[in-house]
């Protein structure tokens, strides 16, 4: 509570309160393929706190609405220059950055939970993590109603562990803005550049052109520095206390043309599509935010786009998508839509976010996230699979437009399943490579000869012996003890159909440290072909590996709890002995 109380004192002494200035758009939401799209540029700058601000005399609408003149770029620091493009809104903004020694998971908790916010920002808050949800931080709890903090503000959009954007109010001492509920927008994004090292960037925009806006600008120019310093102090002084468990999120990854597709297979599912586009950020931004740009790679469409918060983003006839939020040339989010074959999905609930990052060679890293998915019924499951392919096709269209030709399809495919585990790498290695470890979470019967030329044999029948019907054999090809092994597989005797696929592939199990006592696990399945037989096999193994990773995650959680209880008991014993 130390940091949040300091901020409360700062707010009282500096004109009270962090407010919300509804004005310039900050994040753009696009509705495409049943999702919202966010475009954001991460800068990966390992700087301390820094500010990027447009000229305070730049033309901007007095009421904070979007300016019609959109070709005047902001003055930005050198590290941000290549993120500016000719269609950026002519408006002032603040951009602050700081390297925090914490994971993106920990920082996400700090920014999106009442307990986390209290650790560095505001003693109390009312947070509803969904687009349009309440997003109120109470810096001065004993102030009169309406002057406590960001009352009346809403969350605009988010990408889990990556970015969130919300409305923000002006301080109470600027009644020209606050009393009229004129709101600005704030985007916070997290770029984890190494384990427990994350660059946090705050972008605040929506400042108009008036004396009241000048006062708000000067206030927040100091306030956001204070917030980032408080966040840094919280994790520097109490990092162990604030550290959060890694969420149980098994993921599947594969390539589709120029696009890397990632499917998050937790209960709250989301999709991600990544591609390196051979074009500048400005060109890619124009391609996805203007009718002419969309028609350049989708000539069969007649898109309707109003680049403003709440404006249309209709790519297909009958689409009901709208822009939720945007930050020019950095991020775009839109509400989702869907074909008529998915009527419940079409009603809404999904959103998509584009994020754009400039690369040193002048190319652009484009990431499209689609969120809001559930497994509640077969329609939602079918729609999820439909858009895994549909959105990959869409991003490939963007790539092909700028590259001039598609990426050649490989003869063989690779599929990767991945998870971050709350266990040290040596414990995870034991769970995969010892009989007792394997039997503790995967199968009841196992036999291990862990060496090149050796094997791992398993059977899911607790009454069976190794060699009986149902035995699966993995023959070890290579290994790096404690980190990696590769193997080929032999299908069980009672599953002859699996021989057509299972025995044509080979696997790699790789595990690497991911910060203190955490492990990044990747399961590579190589040699996949194409066709109906392979597609059916992929569905089966996708389900199977999802269940397997969920069991592994649960096992690591149990080991962590057991370790925590042991430490607690030992500490109590030492205290008793000392007494």
| Residues 122, 134: Cα–Cα separation, whole Å | 15
- Percent of the chain residues past pLDDT 90, beyond the cut: 56
- Taking each helix axis from N to C end, the angle separating 211-242 and 104-112, rounded to the nearest 10 degrees, works out to 120
Highest mean pLDDT among 73-87, 191-205, 548-562: 191-205
| Residues 330, 41: Cα–Cα separation, whole Å | 4
Q: What is the pLDDT of residue 83?
A: 33
Q: What is the pLDDT of residue 2?
A: 46
**Does pLDDT of 572 surpass 60?**
no
**Does pLDDT of 11 surpass 50?**
no
Among 264-268, 291-295, 521-525, the range scoring the smallest mean pLDDT is: 264-268
| Residues 15, 502: Cα–Cα separation, whole Å | 67
Reported confidence tier of residue 91, pLDDT bands at 50, 70, 90 = low
Given a contact cutoff of 8 angstroms between Cβ atoms, the answer to whether 29 and 325 are in contact is yes
Contacts of 37 (CB under 8 A, 6+ apart): 29, 30, 31, 288, 332, 333, 334, 352, 353, 354, 368, 369, 370
Condensed to tens digits (0 to 9), the pLDDT of residues 179-223 reads: 888 899 999 999 999 888 999 999 998 899 999 999 999 999 999
- What's the whole-number mean pLDDT along residues 238-259? 85
| Residues 178, 169: Cα–Cα separation, whole Å | 6
- Taking each helix axis from N to C end, the angle separating 2-13 and 211-242, rounded to the nearest 10 degrees, works out to 170
**Average pLDDT value over all residues in the chain:** 81
Query: Does the predicted TM-score (pTM) go above 0.75?
Result: yes
- What's the whole-number mean pLDDT along residues 148-157? 93
| Residues 497, 511: Cα–Cα separation, whole Å | 31
Q: What is the pLDDT of residue 71?
A: 33
Pairing of the two strands 92-100 and 197-207:
antiparallel
Q: What is the pLDDT of residue 44?
A: 37
**Does pLDDT of 238 surpass 50?**
yes
The half-sphere exposure of 99 on its side-chain side, counting CA atoms within 13 A, is 11
| Residues 395, 372: Cα–Cα separation, whole Å | 20
- What's the whole-number mean pLDDT along residues 315-342? 90
| Residues 533, 310: Cα–Cα separation, whole Å | 45
SS3 294: helix
- What's the whole-number mean pLDDT along residues 15-29? 30
| Residues 294, 315: Cα–Cα separation, whole Å | 8
| Residues 237, 230: Cα–Cα separation, whole Å | 10
SS3 184: strand
Reported confidence tier of residue 348, pLDDT bands at 50, 70, 90 = confident
Condensed to tens digits (0 to 9), the pLDDT of residues 472-517 reads: 999 999 999 999 999 998 877 766 656 677 788 999 999 999 877 8
Condensed to tens digits (0 to 9), the pLDDT of residues 412-459 reads: 889 999 998 989 999 999 999 999 999 999 999 999 999 999 999 999
Q: Which domains does the chain have, with CATH numbers?
A: 1-409 (3.30.530.20), 413-568 (3.30.530.20)
Contacts of 547 (CB under 8 A, 6+ apart): none
| Residues 451, 469: Cα–Cα separation, whole Å | 25
Among 4-13, 322-331, 360-369, 399-408, the range scoring the smallest mean pLDDT is: 4-13
Q: Dmax over Cα atoms in the chain, in whole Å?
A: 82
**DSSP symbol at 101:** S
Q: What is the pLDDT of residue 495?
A: 67
Highest mean pLDDT among 49-53, 183-187, 531-535: 183-187
SS3 102: coil
Reported confidence tier of residue 365, pLDDT bands at 50, 70, 90 = very high
**Does pLDDT of 573 surpass 90?**
no
């Amino acid at each position: 509570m130390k940091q949040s109380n300091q901020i409360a004192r700062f707010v009282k002494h500096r004109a009270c309160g962090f407010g919300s200035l509804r004005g310039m758009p900050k994040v753009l939401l696009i509705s495409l393929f049943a999702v919202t799209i966010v475009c954001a540029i991460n800068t990966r700058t390992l700087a301390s706190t820094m500010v990027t601000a447009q000229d305070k005399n730049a033309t901007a609408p007095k009421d904070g609405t979007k300016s019609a003149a959109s070709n005047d770029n902001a003055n930005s620091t050198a590290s941000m220059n290549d993120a500016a493009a000719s269609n950026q809104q002519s408006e002032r903004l603040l951009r602050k950055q700081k390297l925090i020694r914490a994971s993106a998971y920990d920082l996400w908790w700090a920014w999106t939970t009442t307990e986390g916010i209290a650790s560095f920002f505001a003693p109390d808050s009312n947070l509803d993590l969904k687009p349009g949800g309440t997003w109120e931080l109470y810096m001065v709890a004993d102030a009169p109603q309406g002057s406590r903090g960001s009352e009346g503000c809403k969350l605009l959009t988010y990408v889990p562990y990556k970015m969130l954007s919300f409305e923000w109010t002006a301080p109470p001492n600027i009644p020209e803005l606050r009393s009229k509920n004129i709101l600005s927008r704030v985007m916070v994004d997290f770029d984890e550049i190494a384990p427990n090292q994350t660059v946090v960037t705050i972008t605040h925009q929506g400042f108009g052109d008036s004396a009241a806006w000048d006062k708000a600008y000067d206030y927040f120019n100091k306030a956001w520095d204070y917030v980032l310093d408080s966040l840094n102090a919280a994790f520097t002084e109490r990092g162990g206390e604030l550290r959060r468990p890694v969420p149980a999120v098994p993921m599947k990854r594969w390539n589709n043309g120029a696009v890397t597709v990632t499917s998050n297979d937790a209960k709250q599912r989301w999709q991600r599509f990544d591609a390196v586009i051979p074009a500048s950020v400005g060109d890619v931004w124009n391609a996805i935010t203007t009718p002419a740009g969309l028609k350049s790679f989708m000539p069969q469409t007649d898109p309707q786009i109003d680049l403003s918060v709440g404006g249309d983003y209709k790519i297909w006839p009958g689409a009901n998508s709208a822009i939720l939020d945007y930050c020019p040339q950095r991020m775009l989010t839109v509400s989702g839509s869907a074909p008529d074959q998915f009527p419940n999905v079409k009603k809404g609930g999904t959103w998509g976010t584009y994020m754009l990052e400039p690369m040193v060679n002048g190319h652009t890293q484009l990431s499209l996230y689609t969120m809001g998915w559930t497994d509640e019924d077969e329609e939602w499951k079918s729609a999820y699979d439909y858009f895994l392919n549909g959105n990959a096709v869409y991003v490939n269209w963007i790539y092909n437009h700028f590259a001039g030709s598609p990426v050649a399809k490989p003869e063989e495919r690779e599929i990767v399943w991945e998870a971050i585990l709350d266990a040290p790498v040596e414990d995870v290695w034991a769970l995969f490579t010892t009989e007792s470890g394997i039997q503790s979470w995967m199968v009841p019967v196992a036999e291990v000869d862990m060496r090149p030329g050796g094997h791992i044999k398993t059977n899911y029948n607790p009454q069976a012996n190794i060699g009986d019907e149902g035995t699966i054999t993995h023959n070890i090809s290579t290994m790096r003890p404690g980190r990696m092994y590769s193997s080929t597989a032999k299908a069980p005797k009672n599953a002859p159909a699996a021989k057509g696929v299972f025995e044509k592939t080979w696997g790699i199990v790789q595990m690497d440290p991911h910060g203190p006592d955490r492990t990044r696990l990747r399961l590579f399945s190589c040699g996949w072909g194409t066709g109906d037989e392979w597609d059916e096999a992929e569905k089966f193994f996708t389900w199977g590996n999802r269940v397997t990773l969920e069991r592994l995650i649960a096992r690591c959680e149990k080991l962590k709890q057991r370790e925590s209880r042991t430490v607690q008991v030992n500490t109590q014993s030492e205290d008793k002995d000392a007494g």
